[in-house]
Structure 1
Amino acid sequence: MSDSNTTDFTNPSTFILLGIPGLEAAYGWLAIPACIMYIIVLLGNLSILFIVKFEPSLHEPMYYFLCMLAVTDLVLSTSTLPKMLSIFWFNSREITFTACLTQLFFVHCFSVMESGIFMAMAYDRYVAICHPLRHSTILRNTVVAKIGLAAVLRAAMLSLPYPFLVRQWPYCRTNIIPHTHCEHLAVVKLACADIRISNYYGLFELFSGKGLDLLFIVMSYIQILRAIFRLPTKETRLKAFGTCGSHLCAILAFYFPGFFSSFTQRFGQNLALDFPGLIGNVYLLVPPMLSPIIYGVRTKQIRKRLLRLFSHKLT
């Protein structure tokens, strides 16, 4: 392992993940909440998958999309968290060039995929509230499967150029990445070349993926709110809006740190060294942890099934 600041290579055999610069002395303590959050991610999302699979009343489009979200969160967190913990606990900072490209692809691919699933869930809520009598005919199981497949293919197509962009640049400055994981912009900043193509493509992917998804989500909720305010009584309005509460909370938890992390990577040159790393880790840790908690607490059917499951185990 070499931590030299200047090297002479085209494609490095390894990168060094520095972690969170400035917080090295606190790595042992930082590993504790990170590990707890990862356990919550695993238990929470696996519980969602288990409950939906074995509860026939939950075999509906909204819960199928929730299962897709759970799988996405599991892959996204597992692609980064184990390496982060190995840095914090064992100072294992080295990552091969191929492994770095693979991790980079998975992070971007499953982030875009998660955004697409949120958009699909917004469409489900739109149909359920604005066209309730046609919900079962519009969102048939085959349609749900096609939407899920489209989300996967779009995410893969948008993320596939990233490894090729990283591989084409010559790296002759340093192989040290000031993060706990391989992120596209953090890696290409190490190249000794004009990386404007990588910058432009990153912005294109951000706005054509998550940006468009967020736009469609906002448009869906404008129509949903119009339909809700046309309902005759306050009780029915609150009940209709309550079905969207979990989705709205999960959207805020995903998009806010996601866009904030992307913009700090590009325009946060004057920020403290540890800030971009912390924001990037929050983006990868918090949404996968919060989603099962939000849906478990706010969704009546899942909450009842969880309580029944735990009460059965205790007896």
Structure 2
Amino acid sequence: MLEGNHSTVTEFVLTGFPGLPPQYHGLVSAILFIVYFVTLMGNATILFLFATDRSLHKPVYYLILNLCACDVLFSTTTLPKIISKYWFQSGSISFTACFVQMYFVHYLGTVNSCILFLMALDRYVAICHPLRYSHILKNSTILILSVTAWVVSKAGALMMVIRAYPLPYCASNIINHCFCDHIGITTLACTDRTSYSFPAFVNAMVMLLGPLAFICFSYCCIIITVLKIANLQGRLKTLSTCSAQLIIILLYYIPRCFVYLASNIGITFSSDVRIVIIMLYSLLPPMINPVIYCLRAKDMRESLLRQLNRRTIPQVSY
């Protein structure tokens, strides 16, 4: 139905990876399904360990719990639809559902960034002010900060949806992406998108670079504090307590900063390369974060080993 010189868009179509030959659709859907399954199982394991082992009821593990919940929700928001596109050739998504997905993509991305900020704060206080740690970061304090992160993060994502939803959209309803995001949707609007994209860009930069600035500051302070430790063994032991978090933070921020920086200094990618990079930094960390927790976090590793030992069936000798 035409409305003036605009057509009414009732649904969008996700292209996924535009240059992917049809014979690889089954393989890609299988890989994405495995990624989703491993993400769910890995994070469910962390949630199970936390629920069954009271020794993990510490501030840092409450933060890990929040990160697990955020990872599961983000993967569930994005992966089932793109899996169905390649598995069942169902790439269409309704107009409203696309905006709902866009909201959760940006909302959960903001929550993730805030939780990483809180994790850096936890390590900063633990290493730079160890005697005051139990007074500054109690479980109740972490609960309040975590709830605040989940609530405050709604504002930016909601603003994007409220401003983008009423825009007039042209006949083209093809989104060159694996999921609905602000840029992919507003590019299709039949209007100048500058006044809409700039506030969204500022919000993204604030929520990305704001926590990152504190994370860099906190780890600089941590390094300075560690260098003051005379014993080399003591230095390594102290650094090991934040190695898992540092790996997770690097996986989250480095690819994102690279994409944002490249787009602003004139480095261009093909649609396929850009989408692959975005999918890697969006979906790889939620899948491998649980592995990092269990391998690098001592309490988590010991809890997992205890659970495995309890479920080992003893050999019966005759």
Cα deviations by residue, 1:276-301 (Å, 9 ceiling, x for unpaired): 22122112210111211111111121
Q: Which residue of structure 1 lines up, in the alignment, with residue 167 of structure 2?
A: 169
Matched AA of 2:41: L
Aligned ranges 1:137-286 → 2 under 5 Å: 137-262=135-260, 270-286=268-284
Gaps in structure 2 of 5+ consecutive residues: 314-318
Cα deviations by residue, 1:11-59 (Å, 9 ceiling, x for unpaired): 5211111111001422211122211111111011111111112211111
Contact 1:169–1:191 (Cα < 8 Å) also in 2: yes
Please point out which of 19, 23, 31 is paired with 1:22: 19
Return the alpha-carbon distance in structure 2 between the equivalents of residues 299 and 271 of structure 1: 37
Aligned ranges 1:289-304 → 2 under 5 Å: 289-304=287-302
Return the alpha-carbon distance in structure 2 between the equivalents of residues 82 and 168 of structure 1: 27
1:13 equivalent to 2:4? Answer no
Query: Structure 2 vs 1, CA of residues 191 and 56 (structure 1 numbering), >3 Å: closer, same or farther?
Result: same
Aligned ranges 1:113-128 → 2 under 5 Å: 113-128=111-126
Please point out which of 61, 64, 74 is paired with 1:63: 61
Cα displacement (A) at 1:270? 4.4
Return the alpha-carbon distance in structure 2 between the equivalents of residues 293 and 107 of structure 1: 23
Q: Which residue of structure 2 lines up, in the alignment, with residue 3 of structure 1?
A: none
Return the alpha-carbon distance in structure 2 between the equivalents of residues 202 and 267 of structure 1: 19
Return the alpha-carbon distance in structure 2 between the equivalents of residues 106 and 276 of structure 1: 21
Return the alpha-carbon distance in structure 2 between the equivalents of residues 265 and 154 of structure 1: 28
Return the alpha-carbon distance in structure 2 between the equivalents of residues 36 and 89 of structure 1: 13
Query: Structure 2 vs 1, CA of residues 22 and 313 (structure 1 numbering), >3 Å: closer, same or farther?
Result: same
Return the alpha-carbon distance in structure 2 between the equivalents of residues 245 and 98 of structure 1: 42
For 1:314, what is the secondary structure of its paired residue? coil
Please point out which of 86, 103, 107 is paired with 1:88: 86
Return the alpha-carbon distance in structure 1 between the equivalents of residues 266 and 179 of structure 2: 18
Kindly, what percent of the aligned residue pairs are identical?
36
Return the alpha-carbon distance in structure 2 between the equivalents of residues 8 and 253 of structure 1: 45
Query: Structure 2 vs 1, CA of residues 155 and 262 (structure 1 numbering), >3 Å: closer, same or farther?
Result: farther
Worse-superposed segment, 263-272 or 169-178: 263-272
Matched AA of 1:51: L
Matched AA of 2:138: R
Return the alpha-carbon distance in structure 1 between the equivalents of residues 201 and 210 of structure 2: 12
For 1:84, what is the secondary structure of its paired residue? helix
Q: CA RMSD in A?
A: 1.9
Q: Which residue of structure 2 lines up, in the alignment, with residue 108 of structure 1?
A: 106
Count of matched residue positions in the alignment of Structure 1 and Structure 2: 309
Gaps in structure 1 of 5+ consecutive residues: 1-6
Cα displacement (A) at 1:66? 0.3
Please point out which of 35, 43, 46 is paired with 2:44: 46
Return the alpha-carbon distance in structure 2 between the equivalents of residues 11 and 153 of structure 1: 34
Contact 1:246–1:294 (Cα < 8 Å) also in 2: yes
Structure 1 residue ranges, 4+ long, deviating more than 6 angstroms after superposition = 264-269
Q: Which residue of structure 1 lines up, in the alignment, with residue 316 of structure 2?
A: none
Return the alpha-carbon distance in structure 1 between the equivalents of residues 110 and 8 of structure 2: 27
Return the alpha-carbon distance in structure 1 between the equivalents of residues 263 and 99 of structure 2: 18
Contact 1:17–1:95 (Cα < 8 Å) also in 2: yes
Cα deviations by residue, 1:72-126 (Å, 9 ceiling, x for unpaired): 0000110001001001111101101111011000000001100100010000001
Contact 1:253–1:290 (Cα < 8 Å) also in 2: no
Matched AA of 2:198: Y
Contact 2:262–2:268 (Cα < 8 Å) also in 1: no
Return the alpha-carbon distance in structure 2 between the equivalents of residues 8 and 37 of structure 1: 43
Cα deviations by residue, 1:176-200 (Å, 9 ceiling, x for unpaired): 1111110110111111210012221
* TM-score normalised over the length of structure 2: 0.92
